[in-house]
Amino acid sequence: MLIEILKSKLQDGYITESREDYEGSVRIDEEIMLEMGLVTNEVVEINSLEFNARHLTYVIPGPAGSKEISVRGALAQYFKRGDRVHLNCFCYMTQEEACDHKPVVVKTNVWVSKQS
């Protein structure tokens, strides 16, 4: 039997850009994606620390080193520049695999002012 388990998490990220004029997704710094073990078009859950909301979307790579977390499309109606978020990625494993699994937790220290 397979169970769903946390694969990786971006903790305390900040939305750097919010664009409604784009097909839905979240664009994330390519280095952060690599550190989290994410691949292009992989599903992630975005959790707001500003208000009670969780949304699913997929990731696309942003410029390496940019610290970018850019929400696009319909998500831009919920998340704005400067909002604090967690991004979670889940995977399926057997219970035996899950017993030895340690999720990757990436912490960011990027602050982007809502007024900027």
Would residue 58 show up in a list of annotated catalytic residues for this protein?
yes
Side-chain-side CA neighbours of residue 115 (13 Å): 0
The pLDDT tens digits for 58-108 are: 999 999 999 999 999 999 999 999 999 999 999 999 999 999 999 999 987
Question: Which DSSP helix (H) or strand (E) runs through 31?
Answer: helix 30-36
Active-site residue, from 58, 66, 92, 113: 58
Provide the pLDDT confidence category of residue 51 given band limits of 50, 70 and 90. Answer: confident
The pLDDT tens digits for 17-48 are: 999 998 779 999 999 999 999 999 999 999 99
Closest CA to 17 of 73, 57, 64: 73
Q: What are the Cα distances from residue 116, in Å, to 15, 56, 97, 113?
A: 12, 27, 45, 5
Active-site residue, from 8, 14, 18, 25: 25
Is domain 2-104 in CATH 2.40.40.20, yes or no? yes
Q: Are 70 and 18 in contact (CB under 8 A)?
A: yes
Top-confidence residue, 114 or 51: 51
Task: Tell me the pTM.
Answer: 0.86
- pLDDT above 90 covers a percentage of the chain that reads 82
> What ranges do the domains of the chain cover?
2-104
Side-chain-side CA neighbours of residue 94 (13 Å): 2
